[in-house]
Amino acid sequence: MPNDLMRFKITYMIIAINLIAYAISILYTGDIIDIPARGLVDLGAIFGPQVVLGGDWWRLVTAMFLHGGMTHILMNMFSLYIIGRPVEVNFSAMHYVSIYLITGILGGLTSIYFHPATVAIGASGAIFGIFGALAGYLLAFRKDLGDSAKGMMKDFAAIIGINVVIGLSIPNIDMSAHAGGLISGIIGGFVVARYPSKFWIFVIGSILAMLAFYLYLPSLYKI
């Protein structure tokens, strides 16, 4: 187990941060199974008007570490455990963390675009981002990986199923964030696989896309 912890330290670190955030949510709200939306907003959930009109851009980061209930966090952390480890094997620490954060933020922005007045939380946008990154990586090397790629794709199907269930059954989880994370993750993973020295272009391009997205969002509100 110690060797496993060291080998997949980033995945376990992200899981730990999410669990700590959930513990803080419990202490703040006094609820264990279902965290009230008002408490989540107080702790840094995405709420479109506050993010866009109030300038609380930092919520795009904090929201990806908050969860709405016990089922929500357990399902997301299980998904992260499954997909994070193969990502950590094939990607550098810098690539892994960068893609996780970038896709999580882009997922949050996509969520605001489609649901401008909804409270949104959860790691699933970022999880779909690293899922997409590994899919992009496998796409780039699909001819060389053979049966191992097929095994990973089965894990992918399980994760998609889990997150579809989450998206359809738990309030404040929207599939648009999943799509935003997935698409940007596929691009990032493909760049890492084929053009690793050009990854900075993906990062800068993503930052510019975030800025453009953020500057556009006020047009969704009648002010």
pLDDT at 19: 97
In DSSP terms, 47 is beta-bridged to 119
Query: What angle is formed at CA 124 by the lines to CA 144 and CA 1, rounded to 5 degrees?
Result: 65
Please list the active-site residues: 124, 178
Per-residue pLDDT of the chain (223 residues; tens, 9 = 90+): 567 777 899 999 999 999 999 999 999 999 999 999 999 999 999 999 999 999 999 999 999 999 999 988 998 999 899 889 989 999 999 999 999 999 999 999 999 999 998 899 999 899 999 999 998 988 887 777 666 666 666 666 676 666 667 666 655 556 788 889 999 999 999 999 999 999 999 999 999 999 999 999 999 887 5
Please count the structural domains in the chain.
Answer: 1
Rounded Cα–Cα distance for residues 40 and 172 (Å) = 11
pLDDT at 148: 64
pLDDT at 155: 67
CATH code where residue 67 lies = 1.20.1540.10
* Structural domain boundaries, residue 209: 2-220
Rounded Cα–Cα distance for residues 83 and 145 (Å) = 17
Q: Structure tokens of 201? A: 């272009």
Angle at which helix 147-169 crosses helix 175-194, to 10 degrees, equals 160
Sign of CA dihedral 25, 40, 215, 108: positive
pLDDT at 176: 86
pLDDT at 152: 66
Q: Structure tokens of 28? A: 């703040």
pLDDT at 24: 97
Q: 127 with 162: CB under 8 angstroms?
A: no
